């Protein structure tokens, strides 16, 4: 089996269980390909030596009842991994070694997977192109000098480039779904409260969720099944009936009602996105589902709301980086001077911008005008979805308003960068699950994604719809391995 | 609304991020364009809307205050930029 890295997670699990492959074979293959792929800059920290040791140990006494038996997996560098450096893509954490493990990664290792390394991301997950990382830009395997999206850009690049069979990212405003769409892979943002936030470097606590990024819907369902657990260590973790998502996966979506929101037909949307959406509508109809025109009237207010709520929460969460207990410290004449210089030198431009916006909207005299106002509009946005779900079972939209763009194209204009998340942000504000699946290509051959949004805790339903559509779409990613020397 | 340099200085003080003149000007420009975009919310009347403070409609649970991780003092201290045995070291606070 020469092309181990071309196999899906489901195939690899099966081959390890049937003893056609060992964990060492699989781990070696992904390490070798990762080593040849340094030009993608997908990794911040590799864990190759330890991973190979672990794979050998696994093979000596393999537990083949596990869901991810001996599967190597790299994860976004926003998850705290015990004794392995965790940077969140920031200079301020560039030497931080956690003493504990995040719950979702713990769940993954408990099912037999092995940490391959930590993947690049926008600094503190603030960005839509991976260009805010202290550790440099990430290349999209689709084409040279193309952004992979963000903030889980390293994760998307690593899955699309087959440096890891599958991965996890985090999604605060689209950070799983947008890069998934830009690289032609599947990405799921689960319902808020489905996956524990314990041990994930916090960005905006009322919006952050971890989720799988995979080559196909079945792999995605399997990883979701592993990472979604109730966790007392996260006070917003929710107890609900969690399905065996991969086992219960079905292509039978006959009679499902799928909403098509007219407000997502935004001004200036390229025709190819519109065409893709129409194709998507046809696909779900072909699968036996019914489409219904719906309205989500407050859609255009979602981004302005997000750019108050997320920075406000970030400014509070990032107050802890003061150069005292961990992380980078600059020299200062006194304590306050040390704080101010540490944060000025340790945080990048985008993170500083967001801390300042957040500080401003929470400051005396502005709280009601901005933060309280945004919380009220957030309620209206959630109400829109609640009303829609009285009529439909799920909602179908494009994932992004464009395909991937060139590195450097949008870095000088923060607002144009923010517009990338126009279709994904409302889902986070309402706490709903959303999945992006690759659905076609634009004229340049770059992938385009469609998003299916579900009711809260209804991951199974959107996975099923995605699974049914995936077969009809029959998407093939156009990747030439141009970066491999 | 316009955010001037004086406001930037004020926010940077509150944020504990030092900002020099050149960066202050760039930040003022960026923040003004972002706030111009945010002002769109004022089109909506929200007097009678209850603000959404938490998406998870559950009450926060209490848990007992137990120490679960033991003997990690050394590891924790090791992450600090400057330490002295069991203490974090900071610049002198009291003259």
Q: What percent of chain B has pLDDT over 70?
A: 99
Q: Do A337 and B12 touch (CB under 8 A)?
A: no
* Tokens of residue A406, six digits: 């060139």
- Contact pairs from chain A to chain B, CB under 8 Å: 162
* A175 annotated active-site: yes
> What would the pLDDT profile of A223-275 be if each residue is shown by its tens digit?
999 999 999 999 999 999 999 999 999 999 999 999 999 999 988 888 999 99
pTM attached to this predicted model: 0.97
- Least CB-CB distance to B30: which of A329, A336, A353? A353
> What would the pLDDT profile of B31-62 be if each residue is shown by its tens digit?
999 999 999 999 999 999 999 988 877 777 78
Q: Which residue of A has its CA nearest to B43?
A: A301
> What would the pLDDT profile of A206-235 be if each residue is shown by its tens digit?
999 999 999 999 999 999 999 999 999 999
Q: Do B56 and A238 touch (CB under 8 A)?
A: yes
* A34 annotated active-site: no
Please tell me whether residue B34 adopts helix, strand or coil conformation: helix
Q: Do B50 and A379 touch (CB under 8 A)?
A: yes
Using a CB-CB distance cutoff of 8 angstroms, which residues of chain B are in contact with residue A353?
27, 30-31, 34
Q: Which residue of B has its CA nearest to A95?
A: B79
* Residue A100 burial by Cβ neighbours in a 10 Å radius (0-12, 13-18, 19+): middle
- Per the CB < 8 A criterion, the answer to whether A345 and B19 are in contact is no
Question: Residue B15 pLDDT more than 60?
Answer: yes
Distance linking the first and last C-alpha atoms of chain A: 22
Which of A23, A90, A129, A175 is the catalytic position? A175
Return the pLDDT at B54: 83
Q: Where are the domains of chain A?
A: 4-256
Across A149-171, average pLDDT:
98
Q: Do A325 and B91 touch (CB under 8 A)?
A: no
- Least CB-CB distance to B33: which of A304, A378, A414? A414
* A406 annotated active-site: no
Q: Which of B90, B92, B95 to mutate to test the interface with A (most CBs of A within 10 A)?
A: B90
CATH superfamily of A4-256: Amidase signature (AS) domain (3.90.1300.10)
Using a CB-CB distance cutoff of 8 angstroms, which residues of chain B are in contact with residue A372?
51
Neighbouring residues of A126: CB distance < 8 A, sequence distance ≥ 6: A132, A151, A203, A314, A350, A351, A354
Question: What is the distance between the alpha carbons of residues A478 and A400, in angstroms, rounded to a whole number?
Answer: 19
> What would the pLDDT profile of A367-389 be if each residue is shown by its tens digit?
999 999 999 999 999 999 999 99
Domains in chain B, CATH or no CATH each: 5-43 (1.10.20)
Q: Which residue of B has its CA nearest to A417?
A: B34
Q: Do B51 and A339 touch (CB under 8 A)?
A: no
Using a CB-CB distance cutoff of 8 angstroms, which residues of chain A are in contact with residue B80?
324-326
Question: What is the distance between the alpha carbons of residues A20 and A175, in angstroms, rounded to a whole number?
Answer: 36
- Per the CB < 8 A criterion, the answer to whether A250 and A467 are in contact is yes
Q: How far is CA A202 from the centre of its chain?
A: 14
* Residue A396 burial by Cβ neighbours in a 10 Å radius (0-12, 13-18, 19+): buried
Using a CB-CB distance cutoff of 8 angstroms, which residues of chain B are in contact with residue A344?
17-19
Write a three-state SS string for chain A: CCCHHHCCHHHHHHHHHCCCCCHHHHHHHHHHHHHCCHHHCCEEEECHHHHHHHHHHHHHCCCCCCCCCCCEEEEECCECECCECCCCCCHHHCCCCCCCCCHHHHHHHHCCCEEEEEECCCHHHCCCCCCCCCCCCCCCCCCCCECCCCCCHHHHHHHHCCCCCCEEEEECCCCCHHHHHHHCCEEEECCCCCCCCCCECCCCCCCCEEEEEECCHHHHHHHHHHHCCCCCCCCCCCCCCCCCCCCCCCCCCCCCEEEEEHHHCCCCCCHHHHHHHHHHHHHHHHCCCEEEEECCCCHHHHHHHHHHHHHHHHHHHHHHCCCCCCCCCCCCCCHHHHHHHHHHHHCCHHHHHHHHHHHHHHCCCCCHHHHHHHHHHHHHHHHHHHHHCCCCCEEEEECCCCCCCECCCCCCCHHHHHHHHCCCHHHHHCCCCEEEEEEEECCCCCEEEEEEEECCCCHHHHHHHHHHHHHHHCCCCCCCCCCCC
Q: Which residue of A has its CA nearest to B16?
A: A340
Q: Do B55 and A431 touch (CB under 8 A)?
A: yes
């Amino acid at each position: 089996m020469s092309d181990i890295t071309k196999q899906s997670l489901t195939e690899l699990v099966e081959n390890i269980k049937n003893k056609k492959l060992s964990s060492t074979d699989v781990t070696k293959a992904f390490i070798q390909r990762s080593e040849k792929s340094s030009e993608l800059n997908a990794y911040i920290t590799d864990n190759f030596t330890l991973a190979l040791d672990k794979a050998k140990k696994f093979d000596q006494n393999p537990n083949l009842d596990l869901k991810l038996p001996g599967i190597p997996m790299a994860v976004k560098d926003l998850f705290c991994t015990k004794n392995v450096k965790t940077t969140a893509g920031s200079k301020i954490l560039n030497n931080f070694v956690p003493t504990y493990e995040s719950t979702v990664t713990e769940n993954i290792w408990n099912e037999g997977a092995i940490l391959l390394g930590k993947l690049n991301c926008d600094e503190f997950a603030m960005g839509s192109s991976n260009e805010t990382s202290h550790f440099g830009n990430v290349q999209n395997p689709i084409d040279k000098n193309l952004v992979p999206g963000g903030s889980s850009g390293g994760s998307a690049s690593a899955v699309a480039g087959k440096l890891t069979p599958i991965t996890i990212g985090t999604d605060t405003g689209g950070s799983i779904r947008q890069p998934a769409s830009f690289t032609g892979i599947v990405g799921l943002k689960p319902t808020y409260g489905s996956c524990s936030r314990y041990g994930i470097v916090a960005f905006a606590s009322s919006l952050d969720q971890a989720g799988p990024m995979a080559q196909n819907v079945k792999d995605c369902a399997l990883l979701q099944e592993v990472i979604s657990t109730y966790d007392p260590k996260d006070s917003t973790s929710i107890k609900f009936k969690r399905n065996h998502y991969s086992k219960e996966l079905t292509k039978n979506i006959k009679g499902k009602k799928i909403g098509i929101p007219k407000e997502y037909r935004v001004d200036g949307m390229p025709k190819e996105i519109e065409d893709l959406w129409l194709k998507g509508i046809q696909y779900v109809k072909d699968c036996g589902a019914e489409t219904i025109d719906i309205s989500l009237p407050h859609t255009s207010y979602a981004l302005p709301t997000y750019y108050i709520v997320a920075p406000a929460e970030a400014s509070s969460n990032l107050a802890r980086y003061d150069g005292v207990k961990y992380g980078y410290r600059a020299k200062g004449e006194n304590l306050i001077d040390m704080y101010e210089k540490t944060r000025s030198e340790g945080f990048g431009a985008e993170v500083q911008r967001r801390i300042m916006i957040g500080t401003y909207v929470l400051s005396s005299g502005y709280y009601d005008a901005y933060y309280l106002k945004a919380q009220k509009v957030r309620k209206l946005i959630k109400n829109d979805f609640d009303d829609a779900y009285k009529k439909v079972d799920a909602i179908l939209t494009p994932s992004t308003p464009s395909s991937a763009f060139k590195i450097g194209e949008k870095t000088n204009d923060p607002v144009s960068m923010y517009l990338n998340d126009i279709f994904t942000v409302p889902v986070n504000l309402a706490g709903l699950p959303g999945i992006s699946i690759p659905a076609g290509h634009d004229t340049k051959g770059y992938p385009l994604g469609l998003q299916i949004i579900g009711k809260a805790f209804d991951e199974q339903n959107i996975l099923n719809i995605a699974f049914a559509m995936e077969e009809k779409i029959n998407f093939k990613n156009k990747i030439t391995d141009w970066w491999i020397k | 609304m316009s955010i001037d340099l004086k406001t930037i200085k004020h926010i940077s003080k509150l944020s504990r991020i030092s900002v020099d003149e050149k960066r202050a000007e760039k930040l003022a420009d960026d923040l003004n364009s972002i706030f111009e975009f945010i002002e769109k919310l004022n089109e909506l009347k929200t007097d009678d809307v209850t603000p959404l403070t938490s998406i998870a409609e559950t009450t926060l649970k209490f848990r007992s205050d137990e120490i679960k991780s033991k003997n990690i003092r050394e590891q924790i201290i090791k992450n600090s930029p400057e330490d002295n045995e069991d203490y974090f070291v900071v610049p002198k606070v009291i003259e």
